[in-house]
Amino acid sequence: MCGTCGCADGGGQGGGGPRITGFTRPPGHPHGGHGHEHDHAGHGHDGHDHAGHDHGGHGHTRVSGGGLDGDSVMRDSVPAPAVDGVAGDGETITLEQKVLAKNEDLAALNRAWLAERDIVAVNMMSSPGAGKTTLLERTIRVLTGRGRPVAVIEGDQETTLDAERIGGAGGSVVQINTGAGCHLDAEMVRGALTTLAPPAGSLLLVENVGNLVCPALFDLGERSRVVIISVTEGTDKPIKYPHMFAVADLMIINKIDLLPYVDFDPDQCEKHARSVRPNLKTLQVSATTGEGLSGWYDWLDERAHHPG
């Protein structure tokens, strides 16, 4: 897990934990409904610094405020990887299990919170550059045009560029910057939900940090998981990164408008994916041209009727 790459230590430019930045205000907010308004970085929803304080030397990071119930939680740090690369280090494995167990507990809280509000959350994962944000922009325009409220949690290591794009498409959005972290976790999503406050009955799309490895391990409390692969990647990605495809409920092959120009076999890619996840639902689309996206919108509609 992430202990092996050290990302669970948080960090980023200037240190500290993840940062959550609010953009478009939720519907009903007196300033809401139109694009990027002002930057809330640096102060939490409740006025506290929710970005986490580094209590270095204590072996943990305190993350205060920003939680759905206003509590504070403790997150154990994962030790840096051993230089000698010895596999099976007992202490490291124990701490990794503790991190994942705490994440599972927080994910369960998120799932319950979302279920109470009839919010369908979909965790979208891919390599960087597969087209997640482009797909989200188009999805927001189409679904909001149909009267379906869509809220987005954006995850990137740095910048608010994608959140600005989502806000420009008309979605309510918050940006989580993970610093050195290579994935979102349930605790970050808890803080983001407090800021975002998605309306009851809405669709919540979570764009995870671009990475086919660690995001597969961290339950966010979502209802469904989508993995996106683009035709500019290798046909064999599903068998090179099987854990991601094994946890996915849907695989989207994106950028099919580029198929004439690249060496990519979508049928073989689907076979590879089903070798690690039998009966995996797959779609072939172009988020740029819109080809194949009716199946994506239908799948999203079905999520509302498939609890769990």
What residue ranges bind Mg ion (CB under 5 A)?
132-133, 162
DSSP 8-state code for residue 195 = H
Please state the closest distance from residue 203 (CB atom) to Mg ion, in A.
Answer: 18
Is the Cβ of residue 77 or residue 286 nearer to Mg ion in the bound state? 286
First-to-last C-alpha distance (Å) of the chain: 25
Separation CA 262–CA 255 (nearest Å): 10
Please state the closest distance from residue 128 (CB atom) to Mg ion, in A.
Answer: 8
Is the Cβ of residue 63 or residue 229 nearer to Mg ion in the bound state? 229
- For the four alpha carbons of 7, 204, 249 and 107, in that order, the dihedral sign comes to positive
Is the Cβ of residue 96 or residue 162 nearer to Mg ion in the bound state? 162
Separation CA 46–CA 157 (nearest Å): 24
Please state the closest distance from residue 262 (CB atom) to Mg ion, in A.
Answer: 21
User: What single string gives the DSSP state of each residue in 251-277?
Assistant: EEEE-GGGGGGS---HHHHHHHHHHHS
Separation CA 39–CA 165 (nearest Å): 15
Please state the closest distance from residue 72 (CB atom) to Mg ion, in A.
Answer: 30
Please state the closest distance from residue 131 (CB atom) to Mg ion, in A.
Answer: 8
Is the Cβ of residue 21 or residue 133 nearer to Mg ion in the bound state? 133
Please state the closest distance from residue 89 (CB atom) to Mg ion, in A.
Answer: 34
Is the Cβ of residue 99 or residue 227 nearer to Mg ion in the bound state? 227
Position closest to Mg ion via CB: 133
**Residue 162 neighbours by CB under 8 Å, 6+ apart:** 133, 154, 156, 175, 207
Element spanning 118, H or E? none
Is the Cβ of residue 133 or residue 157 nearer to Mg ion in the bound state? 133
* Most distant CA pair in the chain, distance: 56
